[in-house]
Structure 1
């Protein structure tokens, strides 16, 4: 049974931690570990990817967000709350997932890495902030006007990789050379990906791209593109008729060819707008989770697929 941490006070979380630890349910990361291996808990996929690559065989990495689940509205099970308390390292981004924020705060675990401390979050663009406010009307503003999607800029992933390396070396100095070597290899792949993006996207005929989920602000700024979000930060919110009309007008004015949607959310809105204008639809994946329908089996391959989609839609290369 799942519960939302918003409804939990500190005393209840403490009780859950004690109960879950005492029960020690089968399949926990601790039980799967071999002697000497670390336990790393990542809030969702991009941080899981980095942790697995940097730690290698020296750790078992688990993600709090299941494959195919939408991470924005994550709720935690008692077992997951307990794993945050007992992990050798927890990697998360403060303000992205309220349930994780509260569980980390209540856990008392000092071995946590808040990626927002090494990659500061940027304010939303004026347009995306407007969309965010519309989508969140009557709801709690979890992002406080900041864009959490830092991982869609490979340069930010380099920074996060190096921060994970440094924390692992602090925790497990015996394997420092392995962590450094693994991080160096991943950094090289991420910088190569960045070079591919820079080289390809600088030649684009169109600079604007339209997507249902306004997750690509960091990517757009890095490579000189302009993101137009239909739904703002909330991927499953319903855009107003006025917003749909605005997006259609932008598409006409800039001769946009494609309306992008993502794999974890229904494509109905994108298909409707594209159908009205006679445009194509395609996937632009925010890589918040990897599923069987993802165009790739890890962060690097899905980012490469995103580049192919942008290249085709915007006349690049």
Structure 2
């Protein structure tokens, strides 16, 4: 995976340094300079997990637009010239650099000054399948041309770990405080509330997955490395980081053997990508299928209306598949 990080720029008036993030804050945002004509801070988010943070922290003070519409698989998103222009009119752009190449290009072309790269607000890690890179290797072998990885093979799916998502929330909150100082107290309050909810969710996952009959789960693509590491599980991915890439016959055979060895009961698929390979593997091994949602978008097929509801559905499905006691 390729993680491309923002290079901090020289300090400018109104800029805030968040870890390795270069964020230039616009003092006129609160007055509606840029993305919003109604006095709200205009935030353009790359996809659902980023938009959710902006909405939860900004609430009535922000107007949030997402570049990835509901039902669109975000990894292969294409950006229209109209969306690039919209991005340039925003007060704040919020994204994860390297996850969506089209968004990276649009941000660079848009000239938007207030940029928050969520990948710089927490520490990214290398994740493969159950401690190795079988899934990622298969994705590269079978799906060349897809560039969804970060430098050094680091995993961008940080929002699926409530602890890391909370770290990003704190950075986004600080960014909005700088962009709109008149409402800084509200942003701080909303950030603290959101972090509290994420901390509670982390506790639910710890308690719910502490005692399970199996620790290994098989999923469509390698999105759950942070979640697996956080809660002592082993992720085995069919297709690596790109959910649409086809696994090799050797990988499918390997997973069949692993399912028997590790007492795996379920193959997970997701709502925004094809379930074909997951169902094929399940049929070949006599396993069940269920949903484990990487939360890259919310649709009417999602098992919940927002981040917290879907994450709790994920927890319930993992507990069932792993034999939680």
What TM-score does the superposition give when structure 2 sets the normalisation length? Answer: 0.85
SS at the partner of 2:65?
strand
**Are the equivalent residues in 2 in contact too, given 1:155–1:190 (CA < 8 A)?**
yes
Tell me, yes or no, if structure 1 residue 134 matches structure 2 residue 137.
no
Q: Which residue of 1 aligns with 2:264?
A: 256
- Determine the C-alpha separation between the residues in 2 that align with 1:248 and 1:92: 37
Q: Which one of the candidate residues 279, 301, 324 is aligned to 1:316?
A: 324
Q: Which residue of 1 aligns with 2:186?
A: 178
1:106 Cα deviation (Å)?
A: 2.3
- Determine the C-alpha separation between the residues in 1 that align with 2:170 and 2:48: 17
1:33 Cα deviation (Å)?
A: 4.6
- Determine the C-alpha separation between the residues in 2 that align with 1:85 and 1:34: 14
Tell me, yes or no, if structure 1 residue 78 matches structure 2 residue 76.
no
Q: How do 1:1-317 residues align onto structure 2 when only pairs under 5 Å count?
A: 33=36, 35-125=38-128, 126-137=133-144, 139-143=145-149, 144=151, 145-317=153-325
SS at the partner of 2:240?
coil
- Determine the C-alpha separation between the residues in 2 that align with 1:34 and 1:86: 11
SS at the partner of 2:295?
coil
Q: Which runs of 5+ in 1 are unaligned?
A: 1-28
1:306 Cα deviation (Å)?
A: 0.1
**Are the equivalent residues in 2 in contact too, given 1:131–1:233 (CA < 8 A)?**
no
1:86 Cα deviation (Å)?
A: 1.3
What TM-score does the superposition give when structure 1 sets the normalisation length? Answer: 0.87
Count the aligned residue pairs: 288
Q: Which residue of 2 aligns with 1:5?
A: none
SS at the partner of 2:79?
coil
**Are the equivalent residues in 2 in contact too, given 1:42–1:48 (CA < 8 A)?**
yes
Farther off after superposition, 103-112 or 120-129: 120-129
Per-residue CA deviation, residues 181-222 of structure 1 (Å, 9 max, x unaligned), is 111111111110000001111111100000111100010011
- Determine the C-alpha separation between the residues in 1 that align with 2:205 and 2:148: 30
1:148 Cα deviation (Å)?
A: 1.2
Per-residue CA deviation, residues 201-248 of structure 1 (Å, 9 max, x unaligned), is 111110000011110001001110000000111101111111111111
**Are the equivalent residues in 2 in contact too, given 1:135–1:234 (CA < 8 A)?**
no
Q: Which runs of 5+ in 2 are unaligned?
A: 1-31
**Are the equivalent residues in 2 in contact too, given 1:40–1:87 (CA < 8 A)?**
yes
Per-residue CA deviation, residues 1-60 of structure 1 (Å, 9 max, x unaligned), is xxxxxxxxxxxxxxxxxxxxxxxxxxxx99995621110000000000010000000011
SS at the partner of 2:317?
helix
Q: Which has the higher helix share?
A: 1
